[in-house]
Amino acid sequence: MRMFRAIDASGSALTAHRLWLDSISANLANVNTTRTASGGPYRRKVPVFAEILDKTIGGYEDTGGVRVVEIAEDNSAPRLAYQPEHPDADEEGYVAFPNVNVVREMTDMLAAGRAYEANLAVADAARNMWGAALEIMRG
């Protein structure tokens, strides 16, 4: 129903931002992982968002929601550190560490957390408005 559009949009954004926070957590947990099952260092994961569109007769209509299209890998170069004693060092003594920057991840965590809180406030405000409207109709 169209009357719940704000709650639906806010709910989809809450889900997307929770997934973003999960990706940040995985990135931080693997900041020093130099060897993965696929070989090489861990690659930073980034969610890709897209708006939710409903197909109509004349094209597409914006429904006001967001969804995660994919979890992409950041293709930036790994961090190289000279550690010849490390078991994953190359022939020159350099170790390829993940392309995860802790400061960037913490900044993204703050942004995702604030966006999550804002969407939670939108859902709460919409719920309160509908509750007040029902009280007026009862009265």
pTM of this prediction exceeds 0.85? no
% of the chain beyond a pLDDT of 70? 91
Domain extent at residue 39:
2-138
The number of distinct structural domains making up the chain is 1
Instruction: Tell me what pLDDT residue 126 has.
Output: 85
- Give the contacts of 121 (CB within 8 A, at least 6 positions apart): none
- Give the contacts of 37 (CB within 8 A, at least 6 positions apart): none
Angle at 98 between CA 42 and CA 114, to 5 degrees: 90
Inform me whether the pLDDT recorded for 2 exceeds 90: no
Alpha-carbon gap, residue 59 to 74, rounded angstroms: 33
Instruction: Tell me what pLDDT residue 59 has.
Output: 60
Helix crossing, 102-138 with 5-29: angle to 10°?
A: 160
